[in-house]
Amino acid sequence: MAAVRLRRPRQSGMQVSKSVAPIEQRQPGQWSAGDLVRVTLRLQSQAEATWVVVVDPVPSGATILGRGLGRESDLAQQGERSSGWAWPAFIERAADSFRAYYRWVPAGSWRIDYTLRLNNAGQFELPATRIEAMYAPEIFGENPNTAWLVLHT
């Protein structure tokens, strides 16, 4: 999957789109180390599916809030929302990506948000955001990610 860079969205029964919005940004219009970001994933399935996973990569060194570690801002996470009829059975906030696992998803659309703190400066090229039926990998959707330029504070 990572051998060839994805240039435009691909879909085979599922779709994923991603938007990012600043919660706290030191300089408007540019990302800096320490900024807080709200990531919104909009997901869609053309048919009911079981055991679906969505994987959204994050920049190196970034922290996904909500892991229960000290110094995480509960206030920054207050605007996180989920909507639709699909609810995750498990959410994994790993060092490299956000993953949400669903036992069952209906045909239709849903959304999930998470909060991210950018900790390191640099230019980050990320693999595609992907949704996939785990036991039917031919049912999936991918969306390319743009590069993140994070400046020193």
Q: Is the pLDDT of residue 72 over 90?
A: no
Indicate if the pLDDT at residue 80 is higher than 50.
Answer: yes
Which CATH number applies to 10-151? 2.60.40.690
Mean pLDDT of 53-78: 76
Cα separation values, 20 from 38, 68, 77, 114, Å: 6, 22, 14, 10
Structure tokens at 115: 């909060």
Residue with tokens 């110094």: 71
Mean pLDDT of the chain: 90
Residue 74 backbone dihedrals phi, psi, to 5 degrees: -65, -35
Amino acid 129: pLDDT: 97
- pLDDT surpasses 60 at 21: yes
55 phi and psi, to 5 degrees?
A: -125, 120
Binned at pLDDT 50, 70 and 90, residue 4 comes out as confident
Distances (CA, A) of 23 to 19, 27, 28: 13, 12, 11
Task: Identify the weakest region by mean pLDDT among 67-71, 85-89, 129-133.
Answer: 67-71
Question: How confident is the model over 118-133, as a mean pLDDT?
Answer: 96
pLDDT, residue 75, reads: 47
The mean per-residue pLDDT over the stretch 92-103 comes to 96
The stretch 12-25 carries a mean pLDDT of 96
Q: Which residues contact 29 (CB under 8 A, 6 or more apart)?
A: none
| Domain range summary for the chain, segments of one domain joined by + | 10-151
**Count of CA atoms in the C-beta half-sphere (13 A) of 76:** 22
- Would you state the pLDDT for residue 122? 96
Write out pLDDT tens, residues 33-42.
999 999 999 9
Per-residue pLDDT at 74 exceeds 90: no
